Structure 1
Amino acid sequence: MLADGATLREARPGDEPGILRCIHGLAVYEREPDAVENTVEALEASLFGAEPQVFAHVVERAGEIVGIAIWFVTYSTWTGRHGIWLEDLFVDEAHRASGYGKALLAALAAVCVERGYSRFEWTVLDWNEPSIGFYRAIGAEPMSEWTTQRLTGAALAAVAATLDR
Structure 2
Amino acid sequence: MTSAVDIRAATRGDVPVILTLIRALAEYERLLDQVVADEASIEVALFGERPYAEALIARCDDRDVGFALFFHNFSTFLGRPGLYLEDLFVVPQARDRGIGKALLARVAALAVERGCGRMEWAVLDWNRPAIDFYRHIGARPLDEWIVNRLTGDDLQALARCDDR
TM-score with structure 2 length normalisation?
0.94
Gaps of at least 5 residues in structure 1 are none
Answer whether contact 1:67 1:90 (CA < 8 A) is retained. yes
- 1:62 CA displacement: 4.0
Look up the match of 1:93: 92
Please state if 1:15 is matched with 2:14. yes
- Shift in Å, 1:96: 0.7
Cα RMSD between the aligned structures? 1.3
**Which secondary structure state, in structure 1, belongs to the residue aligned with residue 135 of structure 2?**
helix
Distance in 2, Cα, partners of 1:37 & 1:63:
29
Conserved? CA contact 1:124–1:131, under 8 Å: yes
Deviations 1:58-91 (A, max 9, x none): 1023443210100000100001100100001100
SS of residue in 1 equivalent to 2:67: strand
Distance 2:101 2:91 in 1: 14
1:55 aligns with 2:72: no
**What residue identity is the alignment partner of 2:65?**
V
Q: Is the 1:19–1:65 Cα contact (8 Å) retained in structure 2?
A: no
Structure 2 residue runs of 5 or longer lacking an equivalent are none
> TM-score, length-normalised on structure 1?
0.93
Q: Which residue of 2 aligns with 1:37?
A: 36
Post-superposition Cα deviations, 1:83-129, rounded to whole Å, max 9, x if no partner, equal: 10000110000001111100011001101111111010000011110
- What residue in structure 2 maps to residue 150 of structure 1? 149
Whether the 8 Å contact between 1:18 and 1:64 is mirrored in structure 2 is: no
Q: Which runs of 4+ in 1 moved over 6 A?
A: none
Structure 2 CA distance for aligned equivalents of residues 65 and 34 of structure 1: 24
Query: Partner residue of 2:107?
Result: 108
Q: What SS does structure 2 have at the residue aligned with 1:15? A: helix
**Per-residue displacement from partner, 1:137-157 (whole Å, max 9, x unpaired)?**
000011000000001111111
Residue in 2 aligned with 1:79? Answer: 78
